[in-house]
Every structure is written in structure tokens, then in C-alpha cells.
Amino acid sequence: MDLLSALKSASAVNITQKVVKKNEYLLRPGMVERNIYLVESGALRIVYLTEFEEHTIRLGYKNSLITSLSSFLKDQPSEFYIQAIRKTKLSVIRKTDFVTFVQQDQNWQLQYQAILEDLVVQQMEREIDLLTFSPVERLKRVLERSPQLFQEIPAKYIASYLRMTPETLSRLRNS
């Protein structure tokens, strides 16, 4: 059994359900993230806002875990918004319950470590994409990693994630 399935079936873990409306914020900068979320349906994005623009830095959709990871891990205020792209149903697991559950069993600890390692690798791949590849290559690489992306996420958010305009993304998809 994988960690997420085990969490859902564990009676000792208090999992609540939450519905977030389209464009509603789950988290805002300055708040400390005390939950981890499993997306049951819908889609979310993690956004970093500068004075001049917003940057979509992560996308979450069905069966994704999502949280403001640095805030969750360090108990410090988040720098990010988590916003629903469309109506989203979440399973909400409090950090204290999550950590207690994971620490109970070495197998869960190893699976949690694997999840964190996967997140680090994903982030490194994204950084490499943004720093070294052309828009065409960025699109190609993200579609290799997440072929269902366009079925789950509107193009304007994918464009923001890939650091290009929606018009550039549309042109690339049509060529």
C-alpha cells in the first residue's frame, strides 16, 4: 500500500474534506502552512507575486499532493498564494497528523522521503528548463513529464508556468 492510500484508510489520521471555489485562495503570503492537501478533483496553482507580474511555480490536479512546501517544512510564513483554478475538492491532512503517521513506520518514512526527493528532482528539472531551454523545448519537456497537463490546466496557467505569454504557447501548440 502506498503512503497516500494508507493515510486515507488510517483511523488515527484526521482527514477533512474541503471544497475551494474557482479563484479562491487556499493560502496567502504571510500565512504558515499547517496542512498538506491531496487534490481529489479540480486544479490549483502555487503563485509567487512580484511588483510587476505573477509567476505560476507549481500546478496541482487530481491525485497531486500540494502545499507551500517551504512553509510546511519550516513552520515559517509562506511567500506564495495557493489558488484554485477551478472548483477543487481536497482531502486536508494536518501537518501534526501527517508527521505522526509517517513516523510510526519505517516504510512510511521511506515513502515520504521518496515523495520529497521526487519534488526536489521536479523542481531541479523545472529550473533547468527555465534557465537553458527555448520555449519550444520547455513545452516539449513539460508534456513529456505531464502528458495530461492540457486536459487538467487551462493554457493561460500553463503559459505562466512555462514563463511565456499565452499567445506564444498557442502559437507553439499550433505549429
Task: Domain count for the chain, please give it.
Answer: 1
Enclosing domain of residue 24: 3-174
Sort residue 130 into left (φ over 0), alpha (ψ -120 to 50) or beta.
Answer: alpha
pLDDT band, residue 12 (cuts 50/70/90): low
Residue 3: the pLDDT is: 74
| Lowest mean per-residue pLDDT among 7-16, 137-146, 164-173 | 7-16
Residue 37: the pLDDT is: 95
CATH number, residue 87: 2.60.120.10
Q: In this predicted model, what pLDDT tens digit does every residue of 86-101 receive, in sequence order?
A: 999 999 999 999 999 8
Residue 92: the pLDDT is: 95
Classify burial at 112, counting beta carbons within 10 Å of its beta carbon; exposed 0-12, middle 13-18, buried 19 or more.
Answer: middle
User: Which residue, 11, 174, 7, is CA-closest to 107?
Assistant: 7
Q: In this predicted model, what pLDDT tens digit does every residue of 15-38 receive, in sequence order?
A: 999 999 999 999 999 999 999 999
Residue 14: the pLDDT is: 85
Average pLDDT value over all residues in the chain: 92
Is 90 exceeded by the pLDDT of residue 2?
no
Cα 102 versus chain centre, distance: 20
Residue 108: the pLDDT is: 87
pLDDT band, residue 168 (cuts 50/70/90): very high
Report d(CA 32, CA 132) in Å as an integer: 33
Q: In this predicted model, what pLDDT tens digit does every residue of 42-63 receive, in sequence order?
A: 999 999 999 888 999 999 999 8
Mean pLDDT calculated for residue range 63-73: 94
**Three-class DSSP category at 146:** coil
CA angle, 51 as apex, 47 and 53 as ends, to 5°?
50
Mean pLDDT calculated for residue range 102-106: 89
Mean pLDDT calculated for residue range 68-88: 97
